[in-house]
């Protein structure tokens, strides 16, 4: 069975509602590494209910649709699927507790050919369930490696953000815990690749890997810390490409270039000298 272009482009996804609490907000923040220094009061506000704040990147778990591409109607070879790109744009400050509703649609499918797969681009809206207010717009790219050559359009796709050709203006090293993937999965991504050593080995990894969206959260933390003074209201958007996995326990080094309100960035798995996140672009407010 091959990828069903018409079914994907015309599918009306359900609009699930999710109620999250201060405990969920703290769990997400702990999963991406905040609270590593329990005496750092700036980080404490994201993991402790007094005067609590929510990390902007938490929207990625609130707008999740799980392994939707695993459904038979898609025709997608889901075993060979990768998360290629992720973007988010905040339209306000995410509260530490609320009920939200997510809406998703497929906006474009690009046929890269039999040897290169298909790129499935989606858009999601996250709204406050009570007021209907738009909280965040998210974009994502799923790389269906086994589904190229289905006869669909070959042009289009997202533009590539080019990093500046100069030394970074700032660098932020953040550690991850050896149990980081086990913590992060409790925010909703239960793929056994991130927990079971045998599953990881079958997938070609020496050990369970960190969720890509967890690494995104670590880079988001670096931007929030370096350029926003831990104020979520100053964090407006983020876009990036996933390049390589991070293993729990590794250090994530985020290199950043600031040009007015735009922060270009990439993130390394320091111990292996591998770029894990690339072509990053964020928008921030303030000096």
Active site residues: 189, 194, 209, 212
At 128, list the tokens.
Answer: 């406050």
Query: Which pairs count as long-range contacts for 19-22, CB under 8 Å and 24+ apart, including other chains?
Result: 19/98, 19/99, 20/62, 20/97, 20/98, 20/99, 20/100, 21/97, 22/49, 22/52, 22/96, 22/97
Between CA 144 and CA 166, with CA 161 as vertex, the angle to 5 degrees is 135
User: 3-state DSSP call for residue 198?
Assistant: helix
Q: Which residues pair with 239 in a beta bridge?
A: 87, 281
Residues in Cβ contact with 34 at an 8 Å cutoff, skipping those fewer than 6 apart: 43, 46, 47, 55, 221
At 165, list the tokens.
Answer: 């050709």
Q: Which residues pair with 137 in a beta bridge?
A: 89, 125
Nearest to 185 by CA among 219, 211, 217, 215: 211
At 131, list the tokens.
Answer: 């007021």
CB 60 within 8 A of CB 88: yes
CB 60 within 8 A of CB 207: no
Give kind and range of the element (H or E) at residue 40.
Answer: none
């Amino acid at each position: 069975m091959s990828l069903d272009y018409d079914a994907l482009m015309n599918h009306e996804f359900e609009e699930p509602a999710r109620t999250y609490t201060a405990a969920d907000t703290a769990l997400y923040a702990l999963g991406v590494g905040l609270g590593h220094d329990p005496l750092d009061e700036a980080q404490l506000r994201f993991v402790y209910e007094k005067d609590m704040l929510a990390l902007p990147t938490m929207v990625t778990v609130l707008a999740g649709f799980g392994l939707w591409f695993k459904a038979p109607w898609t025709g997608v070879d889901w075993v060979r699927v990768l998360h290629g790109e992720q973007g988010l744009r905040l339209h306000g400050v995410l509260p530490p507790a609320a009920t939200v509703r997510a809406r998703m649609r497929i906006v474009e499918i690009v046929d890269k050919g039999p040897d290169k797969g298909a790129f499935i681009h989606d858009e999601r809206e996250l709204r406050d369930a009570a007021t209907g207010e738009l909280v965040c717009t998210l974009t994502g790219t799923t790389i269906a490696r086994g589904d190229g050559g289905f006869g669909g359009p070959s042009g289009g796709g997202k533009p590539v953000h080019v990093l500046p050709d100069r030394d970074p203006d700032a660098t932020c090293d953040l550690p991850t815990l050896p149990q980081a993937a086990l913590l992060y999965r409790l925010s909703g991504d239960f793929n056994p690749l991130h927990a079971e050593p045998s599953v990881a080995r079958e997938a070609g990894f020496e050990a369970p890997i960190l969720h890509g969206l967890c690494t995104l959260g670590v880079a988001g933390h670096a931007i929030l810390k370096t350029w926003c003074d831990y104020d979520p209201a100053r964090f407006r958007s983020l876009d990036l490409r996933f390049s390589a996995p991070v293993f729990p326990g590794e250090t994530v080094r985020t290199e950043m270039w600031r040009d007015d309100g735009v922060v270009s960035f990439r993130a390394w798995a320091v111990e292996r000298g591998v770029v894990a996140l690339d072509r990053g672009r964020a928008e921030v407010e303030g000096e």
